[in-house]
Chain A
Amino acid sequence: MTIQTPNGFTLDTSGKRIVVDPVTRIEGHMRCEVNVDSENIIRNAVSTGTMWRGLEVILKGRDPRDAWAFTQRICGVCTGTHALTSVRCVEDALGIKIPENANSIRNIMQLCLQVHDHLVHFYHLHALDWVNPVSALKADPKATSELQQKVSPAHPKSSPGYFRDVQNRLKRFVESGQLGPFKNGYWDNPAYLLPPEANLMATTHYLEALDFQTTIMRIRTIFGGKDPHPNWLVGGVPCAINVDGVGAVGAINMERLNMVRSIIDQSIRFVEDVYIPDLLAVASFYKGWLYGGGLSSKNVLSYGDIPDNANDYSAANLLSPRGAIINGNLKEVHDVDLRNPEEIQEFVPHSWYKYADEKKGLHPWDGVTQPAYGLGPNAKGSKTNIVEIDESAKYSWIKAPRWKGNAMEVGPLARYIVGYAQGNKEITEQINFVLKTLDVPVTALFSTLGRTAARGLECQWAAHKMSYFLDKLIATIKAGDSSTANVDNWDPSTWPKEAKGVGFTEAPRGALAHWIRIKDTKIENYQCVVPTTWNGSPRDNEGNIGAFEASLMNTKMERPEEPVEILRTLHSFDPCLACSTHVMSEDGEELTRIKVR
């Protein structure tokens, strides 16, 4: 049977059904099913969020100043981005302005997350979709050294002896018979295209990156006390600045600022000498594999982030771009209003939730979530042993958010497409550099590889922007302003009886926003629409498919029983399922009736 979706995809469910559950190397739990035709080309794709935690109902009735800590636990991978979104949301509701230093420190922390998260994603969650560590055993260390020196002459770890040592280490590891994380991988699948030397170089950097990433997040430990899950504060940041007098040794002082500077410099070096060259090297072997574009050439969305000056969330003041592009028309970038009830709405006809009227979508300020788990009539298996999903019915713990009715892709590629369309100078230069280096047209961006490349470019951008905000922080302190928190409205007795607010960020995985209603100093309603809710969205009433599903369409699989291509494309979004599936309602009353066995 063939179905034409309004957003331009032809679905055919007649071919063989392939199930991947669990999808691994992601945050959280996810299932994917596809139908392949006789040529092993994917003709239908179904993505299912397979976990739900219900954090917003837990937030109900609590102190809004505590909300950052709860929402931060939505995700430990993009740790802190929910907390930042939450404090902005509460500050918006209560009209709290933060000091300039707090803005700089928050930006450094958020950018630090981007750098860390993108780097770890590329090497530790995504690389094994492109890189074959077993093939690395066949590499010639001398040729690998030459390759390394060609792609990145600045990186010091490049001698033949160095690569021989790493190769020996790998060899012993493989020969031990205990393959650990590489066990049952798809290492003889023809979808892997790198020559052994490139595999050895990239595998070596997998290990180097694993060691180096321990350093990056120390910036957040300095300002937030620990990482993952550093500490934040409504009204500013908790760390005080004291560069002069008594007690300076226990505050943000010269030594701390120097440590931040040193880590930023090391991060820039690692990203530019290792990550970007690896990305380009890998891409050069896969540039003929331009599957996975999905919605990216049609509908993309970003809210923008990284306010240059404190308290100004207008698009002009945001260093990370804001806008929406519809139907691939790059000539027109629409503004996005998170307060407008007609713009962002969530639908549930294919989600395991119940609305009174499921034909309608709800704006998050008026969101309702009532879980309603069950399988459709055509599902195979049973309620507690799903063999095949029935996507004509409800099939996911993820809701379907829409912007003015459109399914949207969010994330680094969406941000870079919006920035490129707006003529953002930094973004355009970066994109043109990559297109020129790889000798590919701009349409190559709309692909799995484009998504992966945009993430790398953004990592580089973020590393430099950390440096910008550290300079700004120091300049402000030098000018005599050391303040980090505004406590005028800290005391709940100063708050209005009722208030509502919205806060947003660009999380590593894409546009993120929280909506709050406060009543009598407590949280009355709290709603989050997160990046993977957008990307992992199931279908809507009109039958529009979401970004994950769209991206898998028409991809040729080498061996359907080995989901290398499915993993490659899904990973290019960096899915975060704990984020996407926690969403909970305004009234959690229904939940308390659920039987406890």
Chain B
Amino acid sequence: MTEIETFYDVLRRQGISRRSFLKFCSLTAASLGLAPELAPQMAYALETKPRTPVLWLHGLECTCCSEAFIRSAHPLASDVILSMISLDYDDTIMAAAGHQAEAIVDEIVEKYKGNYILACEGNPPLNEDGMYCIIGGKPYLDQLKKAASNCKAIISWGSCASWGCVQAARPNPTQAVPIHKVIRDKPIIKVPGCPPIPEVMTAVITYIATFEKLPELDRQGRPKMFYSQRIHDKCYRRPHFDAGQFVEAWDDDSARKGYCLYKMGCKGPTTYNACSTTRWNGGVSFPIQSGHGCIGCSEDGFWDNGGFYNRLTNIHQFGIEANADDIGKTAAGVVGAAVAAHAAVSALKRARDKGGNA
């Protein structure tokens, strides 16, 4: 396909010098947490490849993943769309509609066999023969299967595509299922979160375009580089947890001092995501920094894991690492006992408030 320009050609023809191009590669490598020596490898890859076609499909969802994507501060969405990938189908922003839009899926699936990425936002419902989500008069599931048929890999954006998310919360009336339940023969990268962190989304895309391989995944299919640590592990309020300093009520003196939100229901100790390191929207803040506990939105089934303000009751969930289990040896038994006592009280109270049916 000689008529297709490479990423580097595009940049050069836009008047960007080789020097700035290499600088871009170094910065991108750095933002991905990669060693500096990988920058030339990135430059080589981007210089020699056409932009990878991407089909971005929408099932049952709320479009928060797309909204997150366009909020990426580095790289900017405009640079990703104009220079890094070829976003050939995305019903949220594409100019064409109706059959002119649907024709694009057919074309890409044939023309770029094995060479395009399928990005999935949302998920397919199985009830009512799939007609709780209709595209072109047919079940979304049909479009999904067609688009997946020749793809190189699938990115499951957000918790809908990765786990099922809110429409799959009990009792899941539409029988919405994550992508990996219906597409089983393609590599799938899960990028969970409701939505995922904007810069994590663009980093995953950039990584694939740059290194021509999929990121290393954990057992659940998430990129290790962003999902291997808990919010709690890197939380800037962690010292307060270790010291037994907790917010006891909204807007109390401890809240104003920025103490730990564990007792307010924070799910940071059991949530794997990069919020406490990458932070959100160009590093401005993240939920805990702005005073609310983590609701665990990147975890499977987080909607059904008890209320958002119920504190985690199982202290052993705190982790694999001993220091998390021991929660602050300095404050020792006092805090541990206090936390456990609170947990017991709260569990009793819940049982009293509502007979069963948590």
Contact = CB atoms under 8 A, between A and B. Distances in A.
A451 interface: no
A31 B137 contact: yes
B71 A19 contact: no
Nearest to A166: B14
Interface in B133-165: 133-140, 165
A51 B63 CA distance: 13
B308 A250 contact: no
Interface string A148-189: 000000000000000001001100110111111111111000
Is chain B's binding surface mostly helix, strand, loop or mixed?
Answer: loop
Contacts, number: 359
Given A31-B137, A384-B131, A185 B250 contact: no
Contacts of B18: none
Contacts of B281: 214, 217-218, 221, 226-227
A52 interface: yes
Interface residues of B, number: 109
A24 interface: yes
B4 A176 contact: yes
Contact of B135 (A20, A29, A218, A230): A29
A184 B63 contact: no
Contacts of B195: 76, 228-229
B231 to A, nearest CB: 12
A239 B290 contact: yes
Contact of B65 (A66, A70, A76): A76
Given A168-B14, A181-B81, A373 B88 contact: no
Nearest to A213: B70
A184 B101 contact: yes
A70 B170 CA distance: 12
Contacts of B134: 21, 29, 31, 50-51, 386
A184 B95 contact: yes
Contacts of A386: 134, 137-138
A563 B97 contact: yes
B95 A182 contact: yes
A384 B194 contact: no
Contact of B3 (A177, A246, A250): A177
A226 B256 contact: no
Interface stretch (B26-34, B122-130, B206-214, B328-336): B122-130
A88 B297 CA distance: 23
A483 B132 CA distance: 45
Interface string A490-515: 10110000000000000000000000
A269 interface: no
B87 interface: yes
Contact of B174 (A20, A31, A54, A578): A54
A180 B76 contact: no
B250 A487 contact: yes
Contact of A22 (B135, B236, B256): B135
A57 B173 contact: yes
A229 to B, nearest CB: 6
Contact of A492 (B50, B257, B353): B353
Interface string B28-63: 000000000000000000000011010000101111
A501 to B, nearest CB: 19
Contacts of A169: 14, 82
B12 to A, nearest CB: 9
Interface stretch (A401-409, A415-423, A543-551, A584-592): A584-592
A120 interface: yes
A383 B174 CA distance: 17
A50 B135 contact: yes
A449 B337 CA distance: 65
A584 B174 CA distance: 11
Interface string B288-316: 11111001010000010001110000000
Contact of A50 (B86, B133, B174, B307): B133
Nearest to B169: A58
B258 A225 contact: no
A65 interface: yes
B114 interface: no
8 contacts: A28-B58, A58-B173, A65-B308, A168-B13, A176-B5, A213-B70, A231-B295, A240-B251
Given A23-B97, A168-B15, 8 more contacts: A61-B357, A124-B93, A125-B93, A228-B67, A228-B68, A229-B195, A240-B258, A385-B137
